[in-house]
A = this chain, B = another copy of it.
Amino acid sequence: MTTKQLIEQIQKKKTFLCIGLDVDLNKIPQHLLKEEDPIFAFNKAIIDATHHLCVAYKPNTAFYEAYGIKGWKSLEKTIKYLNEKYPEIFTIADAKRGDIGNTSTMYAKAFFEDLAFDSVTVAPYMGKDSVEPFLAFKDKHTIMLALTSNAGAFDFQTKTVDGKELYKQVLETSKTWTNAENLMYVVGATKAEYFADIRKIIPNSFLLVPGVGAQGGNLQDVCKYGMTDNVGLLINSSRGIIYASQNEDFAEAAAKSAEILQQEMKAILE
Contact = CB atoms under 8 A, between A and B. Distances in A.
Interface string A160-195: 111000100110010000000000000000000000
A65 B169 contact: no
A119 to B, nearest CB: 16
A128 B106 contact: no
Contacts of A149: 100
The quantity of this chain's copies bound in the complex is 2
Contacts of A170: 156
A169 B222 CA distance: 30
Contacts of A160: 161-162
A150 interface: yes
Interface residues of A, number: 53
A30 interface: no
A130 interface: yes
A135 to B, nearest CB: 13
A115 B150 CA distance: 27
A150 B125 contact: no
Nearest to A164: B159
Contact of A156 (B65, B127, B148): B127
Given A76-B68, A100-B149, A173 B161 contact: no
A98 interface: yes
Interface of A: 22, 60, 62-63, 65-66, 68-69, 72-73, 76, 96-101, 103-104, 106-107, 109-110, 114-115, 123-131, 145, 148-157, 159-162, 166, 169-170, 173
